[in-house]
């Protein structure tokens, strides 16, 4: 049930005509309480879509009762009119929900809005607002899968997760298949929990989780304008986990979703984990891993099943991380093809016939480590992004 696995949540996903293919394109998640705490993290891109600007304001108040999401249009770079459309969406959602559930007594400031799709075009409000009303009529405890489907763009499959605590649950859904780069990814993600937790606790848990998961997937080095991750708490379980327990469950949910995002990256034939070990600092490990993940020569080599360690070493050398070039070791799928910055085992021993690839880079500069996840660069990725219209 994904986002509706925790108690206190209903969801829906409907087709409103925003997508040319007629698929589901409006999703709604409602928190029936008793609590309504929220935390959020958003894109670091300075060019932020209207729904990001709106939802940042809403989340700063610490309370969200509903999240309305649409695919089929990003509502980014649409000027003051685009922001007015977001505000109107929140107002309409609040009023329509209150009319059918007066006890909720929602205002626009209780509604987060998320959008995804093509940049630079206004949303068709005469289609979107009736779609919201249709989603409200379809709200149910079993609506999580439909909501996850409605937020897809170039995704080939919906992405959902559940992580269970002791008597409480974290659920989640996400979309994203390209522009996956910190921070966060071209993604929308809604996480829910029936644990008892206030906004500050939720914020700490979410930021700790995203730092190790969504912020460490890097499909193509491109940062989106619409990235939004929200964590909503209903408190319906009546159980208050420790901050450490909540963080662990949220991290598990985010990790699962992040791996699903990378696995569904546009045109990918390889799912690549870059493990950087023995770095001087964690920041160094992240920088090195990210440099390799974003190197097109590395990514195309892996698409061609070539364990080209020279390209990996060259990518490491572009960073400011502390290391000595003649001490670096590199392994690809367990074969140490580079030792002390030079050729080692025969790279023909590396089996790249499968989808999963692990690159291990030992900097011999300290005791810190980090993993970055990426994918290869294929013909299909170029084709997908040369004619993007979803």
**Rounded to whole angstroms, how far apart are CA atoms 43 and 49?**
9
Alpha-carbon span 231 to 208, nearest angstrom: 12
User: What DSSP state is assigned to residue 199?
Assistant: H
**Cα–Cα dist 109/48, whole Å:** 19
For the chain, what is the total number of helices (H) and then of strands (E)?
10, 15
Active-site residue identified among 154, 186, 192, 390: 186
Taking the C-alpha atoms of residue 91 and residue 111, their distance in angstroms, rounded to an integer, is 8
d(C-alpha 154, C-alpha 35), whole Å: 34
What is the DSSP code string of 11-48? Answer: EEEE--S-STT----EEEEEE--S--EEEEEE---SS-
- 347 neighbors 337 (Cβ within 8 angstroms): yes
Parallel/antiparallel/unpaired status of strands 37-42 and 26-31: unpaired
Distance CA(284)–CA(106), nearest Å, equals: 46
Is 186 annotated in the active site? yes
* Residues in the chain, overall count: 390
Q: Rounded to 5 degrees, what are φ and ψ at 31?
A: -100, 110
CA dihedral of residues 214, 220, 221, 222 (deg, nearest 10): -90
Q: Omega into 306 within 30° of 0, i.e. cis?
A: no
* Separation between Cα atoms, residue 151 and residue 1, nearest integer Å: 16
User: What would the DSSP string read from start to end of 94-135?
Assistant: HHHHHHH-GGG---GGGEEEEEBS-TT----HHHHHHHHHHH
* Element (DSSP H or E) covering residue 371: strand 368-375
> Among all residues, which ones are annotated catalytic?
186
């Amino acid at each position: 049930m994904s986002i509706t696995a925790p108690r206190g949540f209903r969801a829906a996903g409907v087709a409103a005509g925003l997508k040319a293919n007629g698929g589901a394109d409006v999703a709604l998640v409602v928190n029936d309480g008793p609590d309504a705490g929220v935390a959020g993290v958003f894109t670091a891109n300075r060019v932020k879509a209207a729904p990001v600007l709106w939802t940042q304001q809403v989340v700063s108040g610490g309370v969200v009762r509903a999240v309305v999401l649409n695919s089929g249009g990003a509502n980014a770079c649409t000027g003051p009119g685009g922001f007015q459309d977001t505000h109107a969406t929140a107002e309409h959602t609040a009023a329509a929900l209150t009319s059918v559930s007066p006890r909720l007594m929602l205002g626009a400031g209780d509604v987060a809005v998320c959008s995804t799709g093509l940049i630079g075009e206004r949303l068709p409000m005469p289609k979107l607002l009736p779609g919201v009303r249709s989603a409200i009529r379809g709200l149910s405890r079993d609506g999580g899968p439909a909501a996850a489907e409605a937020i897809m763009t170039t995704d080939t499959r919906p992405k959902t997760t559940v992580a269970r605590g002791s008597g409480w649950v974290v659920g989640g859904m996400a979309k994203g298949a390209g522009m996956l780069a910190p921070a966060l990814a071209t993604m929308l993600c809604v996480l829910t929990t029936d644990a008892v937790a206030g906004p500050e606790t939720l914020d700490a848990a979410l930021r700790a989780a995203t730092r190790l998961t969504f912020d460490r997937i890097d499909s193509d080095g491109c940062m989106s304008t619409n990235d939004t991750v929200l964590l909503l708490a209903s408190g319906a379980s009546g159980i208050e986990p420790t901050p450490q327990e909540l963080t662990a469950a949220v991290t598990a949910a985010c990790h699962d979703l992040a791996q699903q995002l990378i696995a569904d990256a546009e045109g990918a034939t390889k799912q690549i984990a870059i493990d950087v070990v023995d770095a001087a600092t964690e920041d160094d490990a992240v920088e090195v891993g990210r440099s390799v993940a974003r190197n097109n020569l590395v990514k195309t080599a892996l698409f061609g099943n070539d364990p080209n360690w020279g390209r990996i070493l060259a990518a490491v050398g572009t960073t400011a991380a502390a290391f000595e070039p003649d001490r670096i070791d590199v392994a690809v799928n367990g074969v140490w093809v580079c030792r002390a910055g030079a050729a080692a085992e025969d790279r023909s021993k590396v089996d790249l016939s499968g989808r999963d690839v692990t690159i291990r880079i030992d900097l011999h500069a300290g005791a810190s480590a980090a993993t970055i996840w990426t994918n290869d660069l294929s013909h299909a990725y170029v084709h997908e992004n040369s004619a993007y219209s979803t």
